[in-house]
Structure 1
Amino acid sequence: MTAGVGAFCAAAVAAGCVWVLRDADGYVSVAAADGGRAAMPFWSSRALAATVARRAPAQHRLVPEPVDLEAFLGRWLPGLGRDGARVGVDWSGVRARGPEVEPHELADALVVAGRAGPRTGTGGAGVG
């Protein structure tokens, strides 16, 4: 795992959630320009997701939405894996790009991060 993925996991475990962007048509995903696989981006904080949302074209009206970490691990990541999509983490910049990983790899990294220390954001037990 890259340092960016590790930082995402630590922050997500501490907060007890990840953030996704949504518009009137549903959740944001990005088709690969090079014919590769689509990716669905997630952020470790509302602030990071909101920064990307503000940079999107006005017609999209993107809104950050939290996803509980247990639901992310139990439903979202397995579903993305079945769909053949990759997962983007903490994308940033004008073109909103960053690390991409396989859903099962991110799930494993989140479990390891959860075992490394207690969550501080929600008062719950660690993940995994």
Structure 2
Amino acid sequence: MSISAAHASAFYREVIEHQEVWTVRDQNGFPAPEGSDGHRTMPFWSLLSRAERVITSVPAYRDFELISLPLKRWMEAWLPGLDRDGILVGLNWSGLRATGFEMPPLTVLDSVNSLTRDD
């Protein structure tokens, strides 16, 4: 399993356990950088500590503030909205360039839903 796949797996497990998702914003709003393939992706983290690590280690994210979102609200409003806007979801990005898995929002929604049904 790649590091990105491990981070994605941890993302699902941790958001279900803690019932919250973390993202970042600055005075311009929520970031959704464009990748080399032309798709925009909005990053989300499953734990405060994961998001803090990116803010403190990635220069492009240093001026962002951390935002906590209740899991239910994120699933009901954010993911459908990102899907309508054609923006992918970044799961637990990490490293000096803040990279990782990028997935379609409705795929992420289906994955969280299927895991919560299995409990």
Give TM-score, length-normalised by structure 2.
Answer: 0.88
Report the counterpart of residue 65 of structure 2 in structure 1. 63
Q: How does 1:112-127 map to 2 (within 5 A)?
A: 112-117=114-119
CA RMSD of aligned residues (A): 1.7
- Secondary structure of 1:64's counterpart equals strand
Q: Which has the higher helix share?
A: 2
1:27 is the counterpart of 2:36: no
> Any gaps of 5 or more consecutive residues in structure 2?
none
- Secondary structure of 1:99's counterpart equals strand
Report the counterpart of residue 43 of structure 1 in structure 2. 45
Q: Which has the higher strand share?
A: 2
Distance 1:59 1:86 in 2: 18
Report the counterpart of residue 14 of structure 2 in structure 1. 11
Relative to structure 2, which stretch is displaced further, 20-29 or 94-103? 20-29
1:6–1:109 contact (8 Å) kept in structure 2: no
Seen in structure 2, the aligned counterparts of structure 1 residues 56 and 3 have a Cα distance that, compared at 3 Å, is closer
Distance 2:61 2:69 in 1: 24
Q: CA deviation at 1:51?
A: 0.7
Q: CA deviation at 1:35?
A: 4.4
1:20–1:28 contact (8 Å) kept in structure 2: no
Report the counterpart of residue 85 of structure 1 in structure 2. 87
Give TM-score, length-normalised by structure 1.
Answer: 0.82
Count of aligned pairs between the two proteins: 115
> Any gaps of 5 or more consecutive residues in structure 1?
118-128
Distance 1:61 1:115 in 2: 38
Q: CA deviation at 1:48?
A: 0.3
